Amino acid sequence: MQVVTASSSGLHNVFVYGSLLADEVVTVLLQRVPRSRPAILHDFHRFSIKGRVYPAILPVDKKSVTGKVLMDVTTPELDILDTFEDVEYERRSVLVNILDNSDRVEAQTYVWRNANDPDLYGEWDFEDWKKKHMDDFVKMTIGFVEELEQPESKPRVETYESFFPQDRSDPTSS
């Protein structure tokens, strides 16, 4: 098994596990789709969030999250992802296993800031999200990117909340 670390060339690996699994969302944000590899992050769990259509991950022993690693993300692109993930997440360095070989890769990922959030529940499902929410999420992301170009742009959470109506009492609405 080989451990591959991020290069010093200003390029980054980013483990994605939610809406960023969709090439359509990545294209809107980065104006390209970086090369990617299927991967798994051990000892984390992907939760649904009441009132949100996107997931959160937190460390949970003996659980794992499947996703993919976006390879060779530039520092300006990572800055865009940081802005997109906004204040709800913190970016952390993690080791992920590439699924089609035995490499372990150092990658950045976005972990939910509030480890005790009562709005986290169950398991978030990408295929279900694609059917129910992807088209609207892509439209919201286009609005977010357009907003970024304004002198006083709104944070992503505010853009999201203005685009998706909030019903925090019904966990099945997300």
Q: Which of these, 17, 62, 63, 12, lies nearest to 39 by C-alpha position?
A: 17
Using DSSP's 3-state secondary structure scheme, residue 142 falls into helix
Cα–Cα distance measured from residue 99 to residue 40, given in angstroms and rounded to the nearest whole number: 7
Cα–Cα distance measured from residue 166 to residue 103, given in angstroms and rounded to the nearest whole number: 41
Q: Which of these, 109, 104, 121, lies nearest to 49 by C-alpha position?
A: 121
Among 24, 85, 106, 161, the active-site one is 85
Respond yes or no: is residue 85 known to be catalytic. yes
Q: Which of these, 149, 118, 147, 8, lies nearest to 56 by C-alpha position?
A: 118
Active site residues: 85
